């Protein structure tokens, strides 16, 4: 098996990737994560999707490519320059781009729960995890990447990662699988207590 053979790359992917490189944005998700997100997104027909940390929209494009016509995605980013790239290339009525602080958004959210959360920012992952898993439906998917050491990790981030993984392992309301693949993926689901 050659896992480097990636199929079904979203149409807009290359243009977003070029714009991302121009901005010298180095925190973008890789194609492996993207491909996984697309596959998992397709498993949630009529799903409510949430992405925390749109960046320039690389993962957004993959998620959208997996969503069916009745699904919708809310994607949150606090950097105008980055989210504007995503908005420019992902023109899809199923997607709502929200320019705001995800800490405030998560703590203020009172709407319907989500079927799928890609948590790709500090808020929703290392911070406010309990609140974020609280807005995931039972049986919903919560996905995170960058769990293996990355060149752009700030000093001390490895300790934060280890602590977060330990926290996940200790919770009895979640089931999880850790994958030493791509940038290090963890897939979590939540079961009814
Ligand atoms: C790892 S990057 C996201 C990459 C993106 N999902 C992709 O696929 O390329 C994390 C993003 O979270 C954003 N971010 C960081 N803190 C945030 C906050 N408090 N609220 C909203 N977005 C935030 C950053 O600006 C950055 O774009």
Q: Whose CA is nearest to atom 22 of ligand 1?
A: 77
106 CA → ligand 1 middle, Å: 14
Per-residue pLDDT tens over the stretch 29-80: 999 999 999 999 999 999 999 999 999 999 999 999 999 999 999 999 999 9
Per-residue pLDDT tens over the stretch 79-110: 999 999 999 999 999 999 999 999 999 999 99
In degrees and rounded to multiples of 5, residue 4 shows phi and psi of: -85, -5
47 lines ligand 1 (CB under 6 A): no
The DSSP H or E segment spanning 17 is helix 13-22
78 lines ligand 1 (CB under 6 A): yes
120 CA → ligand 1 middle, Å: 6
101 lines ligand 1 (CB under 6 A): yes
100 CA → ligand 1 middle, Å: 11
- Specify the pLDDT at position 26: 92
Residue 173: which pLDDT band, with cuts at 50, 70 and 90? Answer: very high
What's the DSSP call for residue 122? Answer: S
Per the CB < 8 A criterion, the answer to whether 62 and 92 are in contact is no
């Amino acid at each position: 098996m050659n896992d480097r053979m990636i199929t079904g790359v979203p149409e807009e992917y290359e243009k977003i990737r070029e714009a991302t490189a121009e901005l010298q944005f180095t925190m973008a998700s890789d194609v492996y994560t993207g491909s996984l997100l697309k596959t998992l997104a397709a498993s949630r027909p009529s799903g409510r999707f949430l992405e925390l940390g749109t960046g320039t929209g690389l993962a957004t494009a993959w998620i959208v490519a997996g969503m069916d016509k009745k699904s919708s995605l809310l994607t949150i980013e606090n950097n105008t320059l980055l989210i504007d790239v995503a908005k420019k290339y992902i023109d899809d009525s199923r997607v709502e781009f929200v320019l705001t602080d995800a800490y405030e958004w998560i703590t203020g959210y009172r709407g319907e729960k989500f079927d799928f959360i890609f948590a790709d920012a500090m808020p929703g992952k290392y911070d406010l995890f309990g609140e974020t898993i609280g807005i995931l439906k039972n049986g919903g998917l919560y996905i995170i990447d960058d769990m293996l050491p990355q060149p752009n990790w700030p000093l001390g981030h490895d300790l934060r990662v280890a602590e977060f993984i330990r926290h996940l392992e200790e919770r009895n309301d979640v089931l999880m699988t850790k994958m030493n693949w791509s940038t290090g993926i963890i897939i979590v689901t939540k079961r009814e207590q």
